[in-house]
Amino acid sequence: MNLLLLEDADLIAADRALLRGRRLKHLNEVHRAQAGDSLRIGRLGGALGSGRILRLDGEAAEIAVERLDEAAPAKLPITLLLALPRPKMLKRVLQTVASMGVPRLVLLNSYRVEKSFWQTPFLQPAAIREQLILGLEQSRDTHLPEVSIEQRFKPFVEDRLPQLASGTLGLVGHPGDYPACPRAVDAPVTLAIGPEGGWIPYEVDKLREAGLAPVQLGERILRVETAVTALLARLY
């Protein structure tokens, strides 16, 4: 938690917040903070700044907002389409996506996504939000990425993706005899990353028809979370 991210519900006055639960525990046990300590704070969806701990005990932390006058870091100009990962990986990927500055994430079905993955409680909006908040706290960002869920591959890719990808550099991360993923692009990107085991050829064809060109990252097969980070670091 490199940033204490304040939400409306935390505020007991315009410049005063009261925390319990996870963040209180973190201040006590990880930061080993004390009354009087200064903290990096941010308003969810707003600015960054600093605060001071007025009171901290086992019950609650009371924080004075001192200033909120810095802009959050810029987002990457990217829309990331991700074949729904297995639940444990999903949690980590959501954190990674938020911490790397991805503003839009689409969780998409694919032939190799196990049907059971769609049943996970980690896909509930509150669970997704929780992981995104952890990612924002990590990277000192305040703006939640938009996450949308597309459980039907074909209608999404045929009917909606062409417009979504229009005017962007469209890419599909896919192992094989494809050009290497470009570096340091100075353009908005629509990037699709497949499931464990990769997209099937039909899916690559459909993504291609929607305007996305296959690119590869070398012969090593990476976990989804690692592939997401590696592709983003290379593109921007």
Strands 104-108 and 48-56: unpaired
Minimum distance, C-beta of residue 118 to a copy of itself, in the bound complex (Å):
18
> 3-state DSSP call for residue 195?
coil
Residue 196's closest CA among 87, 66, 38?
87
141 contributes a contact to a copy of itself by CB under 8 A: yes
In this complex, which beta carbon is closest to a copy of itself, that of residue 89 or of residue 128? 89
Would you give the DSSP letter of residue 67? Answer: E
Outline where 161-210 has alpha helix (H): 161-165, 201-209
Q: Is-contact 4 25, C-beta < 8 A?
A: no
Task: State which of positions 77-116 bind a copy of itself (CB under 8 A).
Answer: 95-96, 99-101
186 contributes a contact to a copy of itself by CB under 8 A: no
Minimum distance, C-beta of residue 230 to a copy of itself, in the bound complex (Å):
4
69 contributes a contact to a copy of itself by CB under 8 A: no
C-alpha–C-alpha distance, residues 168 and 191, integer Å: 10
Residue 156's closest CA among 107, 104, 215, 92?
107
168 contributes a contact to a copy of itself by CB under 8 A: no
28 contributes a contact to a copy of itself by CB under 8 A: no
32 contributes a contact to a copy of itself by CB under 8 A: no
Minimum distance, C-beta of residue 2 to a copy of itself, in the bound complex (Å):
5
- Which positions lie near a copy of itself, rule CB under 8 A? 2, 73, 95-96, 99-101, 138-141, 183-184, 217-223, 226, 229-234
